[in-house]
A and B are shown apart, each in its own frame.
Chain A
Amino acid sequence: DVVLTQSPATLSVTPGERISLSCRASESVDTYLHWYQQKPNESPRLLIKYASQSISGIPSRFSGSGSGTDFTLSINGVELEDLSIYYCQQGNSLPYTFGAGTKLELK
């Protein structure tokens, strides 16, 4: 199974700053890497697909990059509503796997 390692596990942020979250795969997943946001007591929401493709309705401050084994989700100007858990997921090979998540909290 492909193991996705997300770092950091928790990130303390200040509104307005630019941040980057990392997702590293145990083997190449090409660009079959997707990012989700999950707020407390809500269902996950797709933020970025295929490493860097934007999603309709998602704020432009969210962007993704990477290919192969190293991926980054960036938030350019964190807002309070972004305080959530972020998961990466690979769709390159079965079983599809998720990372353990990065939790954004207020500094």
Chain B
Amino acid sequence: EVQLVESGGVLVQPGRSMKLSCAASGFTFSSFPMAWVRQAPTKGLEWVATISTSGGSTYYRDSVKGRFTISRDNAKSTLYLQMDSLRSEDTATYYCTTGDGYDFDYWGQGVMVTVSS
């Protein structure tokens, strides 16, 4: 059974940093692209970033480019999202997802990130 378990969410002040982790199990982690998708309170879904199987290619939405960094450790089957210079508009539930790189087949339970002073 595929399991994606996010951690690291918390309350943080604007301008500060936070790192999310996603522990994966139940599938060959190194064979699948991984992604983060977020959902602001009472809002819809928004793709944030995707990383290739090797980690050699990364893709970001414009609003987080230069501030967020997606990475992975295939030996530990873990996905990361380093978030710097956080803004209030980054407040959301962040989901770790995987699929074929064009869709999102499996989702974690989500982790809440609140950016507020």
Residues of A in contact with B (beta carbons under 8 Å apart):
32, 34, 36, 38, 43-46, 49-50, 55, 87, 89, 91-92, 94-101
Contacts and interface: CB of A to CB of B under 8 A. Distances in A.
Nearest to A95: B61
A38 B9 CA distance: 21
Contact of A95 (B62, B99, B108): B62
Contact of A89 (B62, B104, B106): B104
Contacts, number: 52
A32 B102 CA distance: 7
Interface residues of B, number: 21
Contact of A34 (B95, B103, B107, B109): B103
Interface of B: 37, 44-47, 50, 59, 61-62, 95, 99, 101-110
A32 B37 CA distance: 17
Contacts of A38: 45
A27 B9 CA distance: 36
A43 B107 contact: yes
B47 A97 contact: yes
